[in-house]
Amino acid sequence: MWSEELTVDLVLKNARVFTPNGIFNAGLAIEGDRIVRVAKETNLPPASETVNLNGDLLLPGLVDIHVHLRGQGLSYKEDFYTGTAAAAAGGVTTVVDMPNNIPVTMSVETVKERIKSAGDKIVVNVAFYSAFPEKHEEAKRIVVEGGAIAFKFFMSRKVGGIDPKDNSAILEALREAAGLDVPVAIHAEDIRLIEERKKKVELLEKEGIEAYLEVHSPSVEKAAIERAAGLAEETGAKIHICHLSSSKGLGAVLAAKKKGLQVSCEVTPHHLLLTVEDLKSKGATALVNPPLRPKRDVDSLWKALRDGSIDVLASDHAPHRLEEKFPPIWEAKTGISGLETMLPLLLTQVDRGLLTLETLIRMASERPAEILGLEGRGRIVEGGYADLVVVDPSERFRIDPSTFHSKAKHSPFEGWTVKGRPVKTFVNGRLVMDEGEIVAKPGDGRVIRRLREA
């Protein structure tokens, strides 16, 4: 335990520090993995190491609660080192990994194996979702023994032990999650509507992007959210709607919130900054699921972002080899590499006056940590973890996927000029990224398990 008379491990000085009470010209004292002082330079203790941040912004590291790190049987797309290196390069200090892997993360054994596989490779904090098991009573063991931090449920296809058409099984699973006080992240697209619409477009011999958009329409998202909200109301479960994409979906979320249900939601940078026209012009490079929408939907998401109706900004980092994205549309892989572009893209919107820095940090750091119970993370406060990103807010640069740390070196944002570059990232008090270079060793990151006893 540090006392005021002792020398601390690290002092970061001469920064503009973002705190819950505002932005101040100040510095931080760090001992071990914790922030022990936020103060003017004259009030900081002596340190073994002092870093002058030259007036740059010092922000809480981002907490990205929607990330596909791949690894294991999908390591050719991304592995735990490259994925977490991408996070560090983008100022993301905590990522929460999705369960649709090979093997699917859905049992005590598969969660433990995933944690073991990640442990000696990661350079940032990593927590893990689990899919629901076949036997709902196994859910508690997955959290308590396995270490999963939350559950993920895909309503669009079967991932894990539960058929998304089986309401009784879903109800049992949600009751288990509610009893554990563990949130459930939802991919909200209704499987029955997807199957019906796909049969229809096939009968009409429609194909390509227009057919894909018809199958994955806003109505499919809306129906899934309404169904999920009804099941949550019956069980008392906390649900989190992933990658909200449409005004219809937003309306369903707002209706659930108005009823007092425990519902949160997220939006991605690509659903805020790209439209269906980008999908048509860029092709599968911009193919994501749910797909990009018309401008009217994007405008509704921006309005909800500003008025606080949307809770979280998340990347949905979903890396694939480029060639996997260009087969016929029904076989093409959906998803983009987002960890390294999220913060610069959002800082650019701050610079343009479309978003406040306070909203950005609330939605990309503070609120995600709150939703998943990541105590001590997401804010710069004394006693909190020293998960930090230093940003040069004046630096302009062009997004160049060939420089990504991720294995997925392609992006629909290629060539965009952005303003605001992450220049240093600290995780648990340790410098892991410096001027774009990963200086941490594989395994320097930390696996985060659920803190509250289930």
pLDDT in tens, 220-254: 999 999 999 999 999 999 999 999 999 999 999 99
Residue 354 has pLDDT above 50, yes or no: yes
CA distance 343 to 92: 8
Residue 453 has pLDDT above 60, yes or no: no
Which is more confidently placed, 329 or 90? 90
141 backbone dihedrals φ, ψ, rounded to 5°: -65, -35
Please report, rounded to a whole number, the percentage of residues in the chain having pLDDT higher than 90. Answer: 95
Instruction: Supply the Cα-derived Rg of the chain in whole angstroms.
Output: 21
384: left (phi over 0), alpha (psi -120 to 50) or beta: beta
Q: What does the pLDDT read at residue 454?
A: 35
Q: Residue 345: inside a domain, yes or no?
A: yes
CA distance 90 to 75: 21
Q: Residue 415: inside a domain, yes or no?
A: no
Q: What is the pLDDT of residues 379-394, one digit of tens each?
A: 999 999 999 999 999 9
pTM of the model: 0.96
Say whether the peptide bond before residue 368 is cis (omega within 30 degrees of 0). no
Residue 170 has pLDDT above 80, yes or no: yes
* Short-list 348, 354, 252, CA closest to 309: 252
Q: Residue 158: inside a domain, yes or no?
A: yes
* Short-list 450, 341, 347, CA closest to 394: 347
- Tokens for 361, please give them: 């940090």
Task: Supply the residues annotated as catalytic.
Answer: 316
Residue 362 has pLDDT above 80, yes or no: yes
What is the total count of domains within the chain? 1
Given a contact cutoff of 8 angstroms between Cβ atoms, the answer to whether 23 and 375 are in contact is no
417 backbone dihedrals φ, ψ, rounded to 5°: -95, 125
Confidence of residue 5 (pLDDT cuts 50, 70, 90): low
Given a contact cutoff of 8 angstroms between Cβ atoms, the answer to whether 96 and 54 are in contact is no
Confidence of residue 452 (pLDDT cuts 50, 70, 90): very low
User: Which residue in this structure is represented by tokens 């290196």?
Assistant: 85
Q: Residue 338: inside a domain, yes or no?
A: yes
CATH number of the domain within which 309 lies: 3.20.20.140
Q: Residue 434: inside a domain, yes or no?
A: no
- Tokens for 263, please give them: 């519902």
A 10 A CB-CB count for 16 gives 16
Q: Residue 394: inside a domain, yes or no?
A: no
Buried b (16+ CB within 10 A) or exposed e, 183-207: bbbbbbbbbebbeebbeebeeeeee
Q: Which residues pair with 130 in a beta bridge?
A: 151
Confidence of residue 8 (pLDDT cuts 50, 70, 90): very high
- The alpha carbon of 189 is separated from its chain's Cα centroid by a whole number of angstroms, namely 19
Q: Residue 285: inside a domain, yes or no?
A: yes
Confidence of residue 3 (pLDDT cuts 50, 70, 90): low
How many residues belong to the chain? 454
Residue 4 has pLDDT above 80, yes or no: no
pLDDT, mean of residues 1-10: 75
Residue 372 has pLDDT above 60, yes or no: yes
- The alpha carbon of 354 is separated from its chain's Cα centroid by a whole number of angstroms, namely 21
pLDDT, mean of residues 28-40: 98
pLDDT, mean of residues 106-114: 97
β-pair type (62-67, 239-241) = unpaired
Q: What is the dihedral of CA 265, 275, 304, 91, to 10 degrees?
A: 60
Q: What is the pLDDT of residues 189-203, one digit of tens each?
A: 999 999 999 999 988
Q: Domain of 360? A: 62-371
Q: Which amino acid is at 39?
A: A
CA distance 334 to 156: 13
Q: What does the pLDDT read at residue 204?
A: 82
Q: What is the pLDDT of residues 303-345, one digit of tens each?
A: 999 999 999 999 999 999 999 999 889 999 999 999 999 999 9
Q: Residue 444: inside a domain, yes or no?
A: no
Q: What does the pLDDT read at residue 24?
A: 96
Given a contact cutoff of 8 angstroms between Cβ atoms, the answer to whether 93 and 125 are in contact is yes
